[in-house]
Structure 1
Amino acid sequence: MAGCGKKGPPSPPRQLAVPSVNNLESKIEANNVILTWTVPEAKEKESPPITGFVIRQAKYPLSEEICENCPINYKPIAEVAADFNGNDRKIKYIKQLDKGFKYFFKVTAFSKNMTSESRDSNIIKFDY
């Protein structure tokens, strides 16, 4: 049996990170929130293409006090394909809102070739 001669545990192969969304924006129209963001470009040529996004939401009654340092309990509410036309790399998602709640939204990107997701996007929060 032969080895490389280096002592120590084996190193896992380097995994390329999925680029994260950094420009999540929101607009409220009627009883809906419209979330928009740009499909991020890969920082490395070998990075796999983004195939979709997971939208996560947290929703708390306005009457409920939220602890400043407590974690927000996000739940995945939708997956959106990374479909865009030409140079316009914008993605849009519309979600109906219920009155009397504090809302938090964030987005992560994923690639079908990878088992991990990107880091979280910036967070959108508002009362409705």
Structure 2
Amino acid sequence: MTSLYKLFKYNLIFIAMVVMVVVLSVAGCGKKGPPSPPRQLAVPSVNNLESKIEANNVILTWTVPEAKEKESPPITGFVIRQAKYPLSEEICENCPINYKPIAEVAADFNGNDRKIKYIKQLDKGFKYFFKVTAFSKNMTSESRDSNIIKFDY
């Protein structure tokens, strides 16, 4: 009876070990975390935003940036953002600027002339800040901010 008991005991241990190995191998590897979106190539950003003041208008111009990677989504438009503060208001050096989108411009250009122009009427007595971001179709991807234009008017 003791030999039958030992055989049953060893079979039970063997089965338990096999079950543990199967459970541990199926349990996975690594730490579970929140889902992350698939990697998406960035839209190239505008880096040559310029301004010119004529009459009561500011004329913003920039060049449509070329993609550095072939798989980058094509630029379909731009968002112009503006911040406007009274000249009497002090703006601290490290305070965030409160930009608001004021317009969307399609990335329409002819041939080799990749220049885009946007005209905005100005009000006297304000500090103005402008920046531009590029976006792809259906705004699925947006670029980093352009250089910032700031002036008093």
**TM-score by structure 1 length?**
0.91
Q: From the superposition, tell whether residues 3 and 94 of structure 1 become closer, same or farther in structure 2 (CA, over 3 Å).
A: same
CA change 1:8–1:127 in 2 (3 A) is closer
Evaluate the alpha carbon distance shift between residue 41 and residue 2 of structure 1 in structure 2; reply closer, same or farther with a 3 A threshold. farther
Residue of structure 2 in register with 1:113 after alignment: 138
Q: How large is the Cα RMSD of the aligned pairs?
A: 2.3
Quote the offset at 1:13 in angstroms: 2.5
Kindly tell me the number of residue pairs found equivalent between the two proteins.
128
Q: Which has the higher mean CA deviation after the structures are superposed, 11-20 or 67-76?
A: 11-20
Residue-by-residue CA offset, 1:67-109 (whole Å, 9 max, x unaligned): 1110000000000000000000000000000000000000000
* Contiguous gaps of at least 5 residues in structure 1: none
CA distance in 1, matches of 2:50, 2:89: 25
Kindly state the Cα deviation for residue 115 of structure 1 after the two structures are TM-superposed: 2.1
Residues 3 and 112 (structure 1), Cα distance of their counterparts in 2 relative to 1, 3 Å cut: farther
The structure number with the bigger radius of gyration is 2
1:17/1:47 contact within 8 Å kept: yes
| Regions of 4+ moved over 4 Å | 1-12
Higher relative contact order (Cα pairs below 8 Å, separated by 6+ residues): 1
Q: Which has the higher strand share?
A: 1
* 1:64–1:45 Cα change, 3 Å: same
Task: Quote the Cα distance in structure 2 between the aligned partners of 1:8 and 1:45.
Answer: 31
CA change 1:120–1:5 in 2 (3 A) is closer
> For 1:58 and 1:123, how far apart are their aligned partners in 2?
11
- Which whole-Å CA distance do the structure 2 matches of 1:7 and 1:93 have between them? 48
After superposition, the C-alpha distances for 1:36-85 in whole angstroms (9 at most, x for unaligned) are: 00000001111111000000000000000001110000000000000000
Matching residue of 1:36 = 61
- SS of alignment partner, residue 29 of structure 2: coil
Residue 7 of structure 1 deviates from its aligned partner by 8.5
Q: Whole-Å Cα distance in 1 between the matches of residues 114 and 41 of structure 2?
A: 21
SS in 2 for 1:113: helix
Is the alpha carbon distance of 1:62 and 1:10 closer, same or farther for their aligned partners in structure 2, counting shifts above 3 Å? Answer: closer
Alpha-carbon spacing, 1:40–1:4, altered in 2? closer, same or farther (3 Å): farther
- Per the normalisation by structure 2, the TM-score is 0.76
Report if the CA contact (8 A) 1:58-1:73 is conserved.
yes
Gapped runs of 5+ residues in structure 2?
Answer: 1-25
